[in-house]
Amino acid sequence: MHSDVLVVGAGITGMMAALHLADAGARVTLVDAGENAGTWANAGSLHVQMQSRFMRLYPDQVPAVEASLPLYKAAAEEWVRLDAFYGPFELVRKGGLMLAEGTVQLRFLEDKAKRETARGLTVEMLDRPALDRIAPWLGPQIVGAELCHDEGKLNPLIANARLLAELGRRGIVTIRDRILGIEQGSDGVTAQGQSGTYQADQALIASAWGAGDMVRGLGVTIPTRAEPLHMNITEAAAVSIGHLIQHAERSITLKQLGQGQIVIGGGWPARDRGRIMPPEVLAASFLGNVALAARLVPQIGGLRVIRTWAGMNTTADGGSTIGRLPQASRVVMALPGDAGYTLGPLVARMAAGVALGTAPEADMGRFAPARFAA
C-alpha cells in the first residue's frame, strides 16, 4: 500500500491532518491502533489559560506551556472556524472561570493573570459581586475568580462524529493496526504494523502517547507519556452554566452540555491497565471529583452520575512538537502539548502544511522535534 502521506493516529490531530492533506490533493492512508486514544474519552474543554493542576504537577514544564499561550488562543479560534465549517459542535465560548476560595489562591490567580496578559490572552480578575452577576450558582465560599475570555467548551462526541463523517466523504477510512516501527529510505518511508506494511512518500505521526516509542529509532527521544485521567457526566440539570469552570488549587473542570448534563473532570487519576484495556476508574477519584464539583456549584449536588470513565492524556515537555525529524526528514511530527484536544486541530493544520511544503518551518522553531535529538 503506497500513498503520498501515511498518517499514524486517528485522534483529533490525525483526523484533521488527514482532512487537510486530502483537501490539498494528497493520497492519504490513515492508520490507528485503536488503543486508549484520548480523543475518544475527552470531556470537551477548550483550554487556553494555564491550568493550575498542570502548574502544580509539572512545574518544570510550565515555561514551555507559558511560551505556548498564543498557540492555545489561536487553537480556540481554530475550533470556532471548524464549528462554522463542519459543525455545529455545541461550541460555547463565554470564557473560563478559575475560582479562588481564599486570599492566597486569589493572589496566585492575580499573578497568573499578569503573565497571561503579557502573552496576549484576554483575562480579568472578578470579585464576588462581579461573579454573582454572571455565575450566581457558585458556592458561598468563592471569593473571586480569573475569567479568561478566550476559553470555551464543546461536545466532543458530536465533533468527533462529524469529523469522521467528513473523512468518509473523502473516501478515507481508518485502518486498525498498530505501527511497530518506521524506516526512512531514499524514496520514502516504510511503516511496519502488526497486520501490514505501509509505504508512503512521507509519514505524519499524530499518535500522542505512543509517538515516542514509534520514532525512537529515528534519532530522537520524545518523552511522551500516557497519563490516565478520570471523568464523569451527570443527568441533565436545571442550573445553567455557560462557562468552563476550574479551580486555582484543586483539580477540576466542570462544564454543561447543550442537553443540560454536567461533565466533571479535570485531572483526577485513573489506573493504567496497558494498551488493550481502558484505564480503570478509581473510587477515590470518583468520589473526590464529584464532591468537589458539588462544593463549587451546590445546585448540582443532588444530581445522579449517569456515567463515569477514564481516558489517556499525553504529556511530554509541556510544548507541542511540530515539524520534520532532523535525521528523518520524511517523518513529520504532529504532537500537541498539554490540552491535546484543544490544540489538536491547529497542530494538525500546521503539521499538514509542513508535509505539503506550504508552512514556513522557520516560524515553528520552538516546536521543532530537533530539541529531542539524541
DSSP-assigned letters across all residues of 124-173: EEEEHHHHHHH-TTS-TT--EEEEETT-EE--HHHHHHHHHHHHHHTT--
- pLDDT on residue 54: 86
Domain boundary, last residue among 289, 315, 341:
315
Do residue 184 and residue 258 come from a single domain? Answer: no
d(CA 132, CA 75): 30
Q: What angle do CA 252, 258, 260 make, to 5 degrees?
A: 70
Task: Specify whether 346 is located in the same domain as 199.
Answer: yes
Q: Please tell me whether residues 230 and 296 are part of one structural domain.
A: yes
* Helix (H), strand (E) counts: the chain: 10, 18
Are 146 and 233 part of one and the same domain? Answer: yes
CA distance 95 to 48: 9
Q: What is the pLDDT of residues 353-366, one digit of tens each?
A: 999 999 776 678 88
pLDDT of residue 105: 97
Query: Is the residue at 231 inside a domain?
Result: yes
pLDDT at 374: 65
pLDDT reported for residue 275 = 86
Residues 299 and 368 placed together within one structural domain of the fold: no
pLDDT at 58: 87
User: 199 and 117, same structural domain?
Assistant: no
* Tens digit of each residue's pLDDT (9 = 90 or more) over 255-298: 999 999 999 999 899 999 988 899 999 999 999 999 999 999 99
Instruction: Report the pLDDT value the prediction gives residue 30, as an integer from 0 to 100.
Output: 98
**Based on the domain organization, do 302 and 331 belong to the same domain?**
no
Indicate whether 341 belongs to any domain.
yes
Same structural domain, 112 and 198: no
Same domain? 332 vs 203: yes
**Do 175 and 310 have their domain in common?**
no
Domain count for the chain, please give it. 2
Q: Copy the grid coordinates of residue 147.
A: 475569567
Are 284 and 304 in contact, with CB atoms under 8 Å apart?
no
Amino acid 53: pLDDT: 85
Q: Quick one: pLDDT at residue 1? A: 64
Amino acid identity, position 271: R
Whether 241 and 123 map to the same domain: the answer is yes
User: pLDDT at position 90, please?
Assistant: 96
The ranges of the chain with pLDDT < 50 are none
Q: Please answer whether residues 12 and 46 qualify as being in contact, where contact means their C-beta atoms are separated by less than 8 angstroms.
A: no
pLDDT at 364: 82
Residue 297 falls inside a structural domain: yes
- Domain limits for position 368: 2-40+158-224+317-372
76 occurs within a structural domain: no
Whether 296 and 197 map to the same domain: the answer is no
**Structural domain ending residue among the three candidates 278, 300, 315:** 315
User: Does residue 81 lie in a domain region?
Assistant: no
CA torsion sign for 204, 207, 208, 209 is negative
Residue 285: give its domain's CATH number.
3.30.9.10
pLDDT of res. 282: 97
**Half-sphere exposure in the Cβ direction for 243 (13 Å, CA):** 22
- Assign 45 to helix, strand or coil: strand
Q: pLDDT at position 362, please?
A: 61
State the burial class of residue 194 (Cβ atoms within 10 Å of its Cβ: 0-12, 13-18, 19+): exposed
Which of 315, 346, 363 is the last residue before a domain boundary?
A: 315
